[in-house]
A and B are shown apart, each in its own frame.
Chain A
Amino acid sequence: DIQMTQSPSSLSASIGDRVTITCRASQGISNSLAWYQQKPGKAPNLLLSAASRFESGVPSRFSGSGSGTDYTLTISSLQPEDFATYYCQQYYSIPWTFGQGTKVEIK
């Protein structure tokens, strides 16, 4: 199984801050990586796929990058609606696996 390790597990940031979340796979996943945002009591929402491809309606302040085993989600200027938990997921091979999540909180 491919293990996905996200860091940090939580962070505190202020409105307007630049935030970076990293996700490391235990083996290469050829950019087969998605990022999801989840707010309390809600289902996850797909933000990015193929490591850097935007979903329709996702604000341009979100961006993704990476290759091989190391991937990054960046929020260029944190907005109030961005406080949530973020998960990476590899869909390169079964079993599909998620990172443990990064909770972004208000400082």
Chain B
Amino acid sequence: EMQLVESGGSLVQPGGSLRLSCAASGFAFKTYEMNWVRQAPGMGLEWVAYMTTSGTTIHYADSVKGRFTISRDNAKNLLYLQMNSLRAADTAVYYCARDRRAIDGAFDIWGQGTMVTVSS
């Protein structure tokens, strides 16, 4: 079964840092572009970051640029999101999502999400 499982979410104070992980299984992780998408409580979906297979191309939403860093370890089938200088507005469920760019670019596999709460 193709699967993504996020971890690392927790309660953190404003200005703090957190690293999220996304473990992939059941497919050739190294051959897929990957994304992070977040959803604030009761709100819609917001794309956060994108990374190509080898990491040569990375893009961020303006709302996180300069504070968040996406990375991956293809040998371990892991995707990461390092989040620094966290703000209350970053409170959300964070999903990793597989990007089917070789076919069309839709996000065809999603993890279950991990909750990040930024509060004092």
> Is A95's CB within 8 Å of the partner chain B?
yes
Residues from chain A with a CB closer than 8 A to the CB of B59 are 94-95
CB pair A53–B44 under 8 Å, yes or no, is no
Chain A interface residues (CB < 8 Å from chain B): 32, 34, 36, 38, 42-46, 49-50, 53, 55, 87, 89, 91-92, 94-101
B103: A residues at CB distance < 8 A: 49
B110 touches A43 (CB 8 A): yes
Partner of B44, one of A42, A50, A101: A101
**Beta-carbon nearest neighbor of A53 in chain B:** B104
B112: Cβ under 8 A from any A Cβ? yes
**Residues B106 and A34 in contact, CB atoms below 8 Å apart:** yes
Inter-subunit contact A46/B107 (CB<8 Å):
yes
Instruction: Tell me how far the C-beta of A73 lies from the nearest C-beta in chain B, rounded to whole angstroms.
Output: 14
Name the CB-closest residue of B to A45.
B110
Contact check, B61 vs A46: say whether CB atoms are below 8 A apart. no
Residue interface bits B107-120, CB-to-A below 8 A is 1, else 0 = 11011110000000
Closest chain-A Cβ to B23's Cβ sits at a distance in Å of: 15
Known: A44-B45, A98-B46. 19 other contacts (CB 8 A): A34-B104, A34-B107, A38-B45, A43-B111, A43-B113, A45-B110, A49-B100, A49-B104, A49-B106, A50-B104, A50-B106, A87-B44, A89-B107, A91-B104, A91-B106, A96-B47, A96-B50, A97-B47, A100-B44
